[in-house]
Amino acid sequence: MKTIPEYFGSHVFNDEVMQKRLPKDIYKRLKAVLEEGGSLDLSVANVVANAMKDWAVGLGATHYTHWFQPMTGVTAEKHESFINPKDHSHVILEFSGKELIKGEPDASSFPNGGLRATFEARGYTTWDPTSFAFIKDQTLCIPTAFCSYDGSALDKKTPLLRSMEVINKQAMRIIKLFPDEGITHVTTTVGVEQEYFLVDKKLYEKRPDLVLTGRTLLGAKPTRGQEMEDHYFGMISPRVSAFMKEVDEELWKLGIFAKTEHKEVAPAQFELAPVFTTTNIAADHNQLTMEVLQKVADRHGFACLLHEKPFEGINGSGKHNNWSLTTNNGINLLEPGKTPQKNARFLLMLTAVIKAVDEYQGLLRVSVASAGNDHRLGANEAPPAVISIFLGDELTGILKAIENDADYQKDCEHSMTIGVDAIPQFPKDATDRNRTSPFAFTGNKFEFRMLGSSLSVSCPNYILNTIVAEAFRQFADYLEAGHDFEHDLHQLLKDTIKKHKRIIFNGNGYTDEWIAEAKERGLLNLAATPDAIPYYITDQNIALFTRHGIFSEAELKARDAIQYETYSKLIHIEAATMIRMVMQEIHPAVSEYEQALLQNEVFKAKIYQSHQKNQLLQELSELNEKLYSNTEALKNSLRQMEQADTKTAALFCRDHIIPQMNKVRECADSLEEITAKKYWPYPDYTDLLYHL
């Protein structure tokens, strides 16, 4: 049997494989493009493609695909086999440089927000050589970007790659203001903690809501929830353990550094975290991780639920996006330094993030907005919908001292004046891990905690990269123009802290007091997705994205349109599924139970004796009537919504459809509690959550 180091990355066409399989000069030319940018000669691409094919065929691959990330949020692939006819009865296996570099999927089947003119349905996928090709399901997968005929981005990878160039460019301007440390390149790094639920596949298949929408639209609370707080880090059952082992193995083969697996707070909930890596690779890896989780779950008789809120009343699933800035020579720029100089640079980086988050709260909020995540944010389990930064008391104290030109006093022994020339050394803050903060500094990185579990991390990261790059740009403009660096730097820190400190909050984000205080501070509180979407295309944000070449105005408007569309389509599917479940199964089932009760001799006798309707029967029939009429009302509203344009429809969902769905659910869940289990058509919460 192979050891982990032996099979780690065995299905990845990585640097080691390239070095081994490519002629020296070809390898060099490919590396040059990877490191310095530029485009690859077709002659070079041909050799690379051929080597890739030989390697892949050797590992059992028969097909190749351009693997891309359209704006649906999931990945897409169109498989082509390597075979080419040689003559009437023979084939050869071929893969050309042209096929490696460019693909032409039909763009009309993917969301494009109006970017694709009807006369030109073609879209192009182009190889992203910075993310290694890999083999999955006997298919060689080439990570690609997806653009329309005129080069407009139709995917989530393109803006992410653009944003990484932008933050490198602006961060390097800051780096150059400090003594040379051999830094030539800055990149962002990301580690994604992924939460998910496992349910038994047989039970899952009996629930159309889970199958069609990923969450239970109905279901009475189980008599045991998470109140015993006994699930977090608890023992993992052998069945789940076998699943996790296989997930790790599959991920390791794909070169993904899966590291931690544990139980989460809710029953049947788990988390997987990899070791961090470069952002665009982390984004690819997270997409792959979600896919592997679902496939391996299926093999083990489970369904893996990635929905943000599969069960009402039980904690939902999120995704923590740990983000930092790293240099080519391995310096973490968000790690407090050992000397005042390095701490000055650290504080400059830190205040840039503070400024960025404060100025672009709306954008960060919209980057995590989805119908699914609306069930979490602000619901006392995930961070609130208000964005704030947790820094910890020590760092906050230091910033306060800088702002007020005061002595920084951590304890009586260490008291020093804060000037840039004498910024104190301070330990990495490992104390308070405030779990309620949406955006927390955790010692040497920021943890963005508002992401929903099914979200692609691309969008939050290209937004983070871009807004921080913008803060760097403004800082660099100011500092480059000055004469007295130390003085200017001090002034800049002071001014920035003064202006943006309102975004810093170290307290409990779940309380009503905080929401009230946040309002007083002028922070945004965008509760639902339709409230957040308009922030994509405010003047400030169009200016930001176009200035840095991340998006054109047309590309932004397309994304705005897609978000409205996705939101209302999803709610529509949910409402329609709910109506079906009620009309086809629940209403008839309850009626049947009523009938059975009526025919039951004991019941009959009782009713006869008391000359009145039995209490249970009365309750059943009243609730069932109410269920029916509420569902009819929902049906009518849905018809009304179908007439509206996407934006109006989205608002209609928020204001009418969702509240009406809640009403239907309330009746159905009450009925579930009083209907004999053998009549109830669906597995209940206890079945789903406690039978792994």
Binding site for Mg ion (CB under 5 A): 193, 320
Q: How is residue 220 annotated by DSSP?
A: P
Nearer to ligand ADP, 275 or 573 (CB): 275
Structure tokens belonging to residue 143: 């990570």
Query: Of these partners, Mg ion, ligand ADP, none, which one is at the site of residue 374 (CB under 5 to 8 Å by kind)?
Result: none
Q: Stretches 3-11, 158-166, 190-198, 217-225: which one binds ligand ADP (CB under 6 A)?
A: 190-198
Least distance to ligand ADP from the beta carbon of 621, Å? Answer: 51
Residue 373 site contact among ligand ADP, Mg ion, none (CB < 5 to 8 Å, cut-off depends on kind): none
Site string for ligand ADP, 293-312 (x = CB under 6 A): --------------------
Q: Does 193 bind ligand ADP (CB under 6 A)?
A: yes
Instruction: Determine contact, residues 476/174, Cβ cutoff 8 Å.
Output: yes
**Is the distance from CB of 496 to CB of 195 less than 8 angstroms?**
no
Cβ–Cβ under 8 Å, residues 358 and 469: no
How far apart, in Å, are the Cα atoms of 334 and each of 349, 393, 473, 523? Answer: 7, 17, 17, 25
User: Which helix or strand (DSSP H or E) is residue 390 part of?
Assistant: strand 389-390
Task: Kindly state whether residue 9 participates in binding ligand ADP, applying the rule CB under 6 A.
Answer: no
Find which of Mg ion, ligand ADP, none residue 444 binds, CB within 5 to 8 Å per kind. ligand ADP
Nearer to ligand ADP by C-beta: 289 or 388?
Answer: 289
Q: Which residue is nearest to ligand ADP (CB)?
A: 191
Q: Which does 10 bind (CB under 5 to 8 A by kind): ligand ADP, Mg ion, none?
A: none
Phi/psi for 371 (5° steps) reads: -55, -40
Which of ligand ADP, Mg ion, none is residue 191 near (CB under 5 to 8 Å by kind)?
A: ligand ADP
Stretch of residues binding ligand ADP (CB under 6 A), selected from 272-280, 292-300, 543-551, 665-673: 272-280
Enumerate residues 6+ apart whose C-beta is below 8 A from 531. 654
Contact of residue 445 among Mg ion, ligand ADP, none (CB under 5-8 Å per partner type): ligand ADP
The footprint of ligand ADP on residues 329-368 (CB under 6 A) is: 332
Name the residue nearer to ligand ADP (CB basis): 449 or 501. 449
How far apart, in whole angstroms, are the C-alpha atoms of residue 304 and residue 8?
Answer: 24
Please select the residue that binds ligand ADP; options are 280, 324, 361, 660, rule is CB under 6 A.
324
Closest residue to Mg ion, based on beta-carbon distance: 320
Q: Which does 284 bind (CB under 5 to 8 A by kind): Mg ion, ligand ADP, none?
A: none
Q: 272: how many CB neighbours lie within 10 A of its CB?
A: 24
Taking the complex as a whole, the smallest distance from the CB of residue 586 to Mg ion amounts, in Å, to 39
Q: Nearest Cα to 334, choosing from 490, 171, 485, 475? A: 171
- Tell me the sheet residues that pair with 102: 126
Supply 275's token pair.
């070791």
The dihedrals phi and psi of 117, each to the nearest 5 degrees, come to -65, 145
Tokens of 7: 């099979």
**From candidates 125, 189, 388, 563, binder to ligand ADP by CB under 6 A:** 189
Segment near ligand ADP (CB under 6 A), from 74-82, 187-195, 487-495, 611-619? 187-195
Kindly indicate which of the ranges 93-101, 123-131, 269-277, 354-362 contains the residues binding ligand ADP, using the contact rule CB under 6 A: 269-277
Q: How many CA atoms lie within 13 A of 73 on its CB side?
A: 20
Minimum distance of ligand ADP from residue 447's CB (angstroms): 6
Binding residue count for ligand ADP, defined by CB under 6 A: 16
Three-state secondary structure readout of 60-124? CCCEEEEEECECCCCCECCEEECEEECCCCCEEECCCHHHHHEECCEHHHCCCCCCCCCCCCEEE
Quick one: 248 or 264, whose CB is closer to Mg ion? 264
193 versus 574: smaller Cβ distance to ligand ADP: 193
- Cβ neighbours of residue 672 under 8 Å, at least 6 residues apart? 218, 219, 220, 680, 684
Distance CA 485, CA 180 (A): 15
Please state the closest distance from residue 193 (CB atom) to Mg ion, in A. Answer: 5
213/434 with CB nearer Mg ion: 434
Q: Is 190 a binder of ligand ADP (CB under 6 A)? A: yes
Strand, helix or coil for residue 325: strand
Stretch that binds ligand ADP, among 202-210, 273-281, 465-473, 675-683 (CB under 6 A): 273-281
Which residue, 191 or 267, is less far from ligand ADP as judged by CB?
191
Nearest approach in angstroms of CB 78 to ligand ADP is: 32
**Distance in angstroms (rounded) separating the CA atoms of residues 72 and 155:** 8
Residue 322 Cβ, how far from Mg ion at the closest point, in Å? 7
Tell me which of Mg ion, ligand ADP, none is bound by residue 289, counting a contact when its beta carbon lies within the kind-specific cut-off of 5 to 8 angstroms: none
Do 74 and 123 touch, CB atoms closer than 8 A?
no
Phi, psi of 28 (to 5 degrees): -60, -45
Q: How far is CA 199 from CA 69, 267, 362, in A?
A: 27, 10, 35
- How many other C-beta atoms can be found within 10 angstroms of the C-beta atom of residue 485? 14
User: Furthest-apart CA pair in the chain: how many Å?
Assistant: 99
Give residues 432-471 in contact with ligand ADP (rule: CB under 6 A). Answer: 442, 444-445, 447
Q: Pick from 59, 91, 275, 554: which binds ligand ADP (CB under 6 A)?
A: 275
The residue type of 497 is: I
665 contact, one of Mg ion, ligand ADP, none, CB 5-8 Å limit per kind: none
Of 143, 191, 372, 438, the one binding ligand ADP (CB under 6 A) is 191
Question: Residue written as tokens 């730097």?
Answer: 489
Map the footprint of ligand ADP across residues 85-104, applying CB under 6 A.
none
Please, which residue, 183 or 570, has the CB nearer to ligand ADP? Answer: 183
Report the residue from 161, 203, 273, 382 that binds ligand ADP according to the rule CB under 6 A: 273
For Mg ion, the closer of residues 77 and 429 by Cβ is 429
DSSP designation for 149: T
- Structure tokens that stand for 96 in this block: 């050309």
Identify which of residues 149 and 232 has a Cβ nearer to Mg ion in the complex: 232
496 binding partner (options Mg ion, ligand ADP, none; Cβ < 5 to 8 Å by kind): none
Q: What are the φ/ψ torsions at residue 431 (nearest 5 degrees)?
A: -75, -95
Residue count of the chain, please give it.
692
In 275-361, beta strands by DSSP E:
277-278, 302-305, 318-327
Residue 194 engages ligand ADP in binding (rule: CB under 6 A)? no
**For residues 99 and 193, which CB has a smaller minimum distance to Mg ion in the complex?**
193
Least Å from the CB of residue 451 to ligand ADP: 13
The residue among 48 and 352 lying less far from ligand ADP, judged by its C-beta, is: 352
Residue whose CB is less far from Mg ion, 29 or 320 = 320
Q: Which residues pair with 193 in a beta bridge?
A: 320
Residue 148 contact partner, candidates Mg ion, ligand ADP, none, CB within 5 to 8 A by sort of partner: none
Residue 307 interacts, among ligand ADP, Mg ion, none and using kind-specific CB cut-offs from 5 to 8 Å, with none
Task: Give the containing element (helix H, strand E) for 145.
Answer: strand 139-148
Q: Over the Cα atoms of the chain, what is R_g?
A: 28
Positions in the binding site for ligand ADP (CB under 6 A): 189-191, 193, 273-276, 322-324, 332, 442, 444-445, 447
